[in-house]
Amino acid sequence: MQILTNNEELLALSDLVADLPVGPGGRKTSVRSLFRWASVGVRGTKLEVVEVGGRVYSSHQALRRFLESLVAKREQRHAAVAAAV
């Protein structure tokens, strides 16, 4: 799915990272991680982004879709392992 620019508020990745929970040891997620999620992806899922004037933007909705996709894939992997046992 692509970001619907007329329905979703675009945010710079540096602003979007503030919505993520703090990780182990109280460390914040790095903006670089969001760039990696958009360019390389995680387990075949990429964060949806748009580039405007050389800056990269995404949305709360795109971040939610990305995370929900990762959770669904993890649940599928766990179900496959449980079925194999």
pLDDT beyond 70 at 1: no
pLDDT beyond 90 at 4: no
Structure tokens, 45: 């899922």
Residue range 23-82, pLDDT digits in tens: 888 999 999 999 999 999 999 999 999 998 999 999 999 999 999 999 998 777 767 667
Cα 30 to chain center, whole Å? 12
pLDDT beyond 80 at 8: yes
pLDDT beyond 80 at 85: no
Structure tokens, 46: 């990429």
Q: Which pLDDT score, from 0 to 100, does residue 35 have?
A: 96
